[in-house]
Amino acid sequence: YPSTHGVFEHRVKDFCEIIHQHGGQVYMDGANMNAQVGLTSPGEIGADVCHLNLHKTFTIPHGGGGPGMGPIGVAEHLVPFLSGHCLVETGGEEGISAISAAPFGSASILTISYAYIRMMGAQGLTDATKRAILNANYIKDRLEDHYPILYTGKSGRSAHEFIVDLRPFKQSAGIEAVDVAKRLMDYGFHAPTMSFPVPGTLMIEPTESESKEELDRFCDAMIGIRNEIREIEEGKADKADNVLKHAPHTMRVIADGEWAHSYSREKAAFPLDHIRYDKFWPSVARVDDAYGDRNLVCSCIPIDAYTIEEVEVDQA
């Protein structure tokens, strides 16, 4: 909560209550605590169990940056069922034996989150939540005249993230979400989450960390891309040979002696004026993502390269 569609479900307490009335328990995914901390809590909403994705709200690395960490919290009535451990006195009276790395997990990671919480304090954490929600709604308000926004709450606002619907452009211009994602690289941005939780969309989650200048730079890029799509819709740009279908454009592509496209090098590399003076060049040109996903190519060195020759050592 809020949902991954970027909406505060205004009847979430009713949902939880209905489940409880019928003997069920509510498990909450704590992925979106960035929109809860200091304003509400899983217990307040009615959840019985919740794990916290520390990489999304509490500053730890994720993916290639290090192992994940998901502490689990439970309501008081479930404490007796917490798992125990054969070496450490922990868990509840009716708990099962240890599962996975309980009760420690990747314990060293917790020091990072602990330091963050101590440095921010209660007010700082609450302000971070408010700014994350404010930043998302600022971008939404700037983009909603240019793109369909898939979901909003009862008030017309989003939570800390929202979904831009790109599916209509496939029919009107032959443009798909992947084309917009690739073109954003020419504007200097790594694309937001693509095709999740809805295929053919971008889920934008700016967090509390970005400045207004950076938010505006992103909005200008998205609006610029919408104008490029409009050129295709109006027949001013070719449906197959356009800046989106061939994005991203690397320095090597732009500097190549031969240029076979119907659009200019300038349009490809410098779609907005400020990019001329502060260009972040993509390092890899367009690749066929689907082909790469379906056809694994091993780039490892041969196994015999690891062979170690035995060397006689003089013991004298």
**Unique residue bearing structure tokens 């006195």:** 89
**CA 184 to chain centroid:** 15
Can you list the domains of the chain with their CATH numbers?
12-128 (3.40.640.10), 132-287 (3.90.1150.10)
pLDDT at 95 (0 to 100): 83
Rg (the chain; Cα; Å): 25
Residue 216, amino acid: D
| Listed residue (192, 228, 196) closest to 210, CA to CA | 192
Please say whether the beta carbons of 109 and 54 come within 8 A: yes
Q: Considering only CA atoms, which of 134, 128, 72, 143 is closest in space to residue 103?
A: 72
The rounded distance, in Å, linking the Cα atoms of 95 and 117 is 30
Pairing of strands 201-204, 193-194: antiparallel
Reply yes or no: is the peptide bond before residue 2 cis, omega within 30 of 0: yes
Enumerate residues 6+ apart whose C-beta is below 8 A from 157. 137, 140
Instruction: Give the integer Cα–Cα distance in Å for 84 and 93.
Output: 8
CA 246, distance to chain mean position in Å, is: 24
Side by side, which strands form the sheet with 27-30? 27-30, 49-52, 72-74
Which two structure tokens, joined as six digits, stand for 220? 């200008």
What's residue 135's pLDDT? 98
**Per-residue pLDDT for the chain (316 aa), expressed as one digit of tens each?**
899 999 999 999 999 999 999 999 999 999 999 999 999 999 999 999 999 988 889 988 776 556 677 888 999 999 999 988 888 888 888 888 877 667 777 788 889 999 999 999 999 999 999 999 999 999 999 999 999 999 999 999 999 999 999 999 999 999 999 999 999 999 999 999 999 999 999 999 999 999 999 999 999 999 999 999 999 999 999 999 999 999 999 999 999 999 999 999 999 999 999 999 999 999 999 999 889 889 988 888 888 888 777 767 776 6
Q: How far apart are CA 128 and CA 292, in angstroms?
A: 39
Answer for the pair 82, 74: CB distance below 8 angstroms, yes or no: yes
pLDDT of residue 296: 86
| Per-residue pLDDT, 92 | 85
Q: Is 125 helix (H, G, I), strand (E, B) or coil?
A: helix
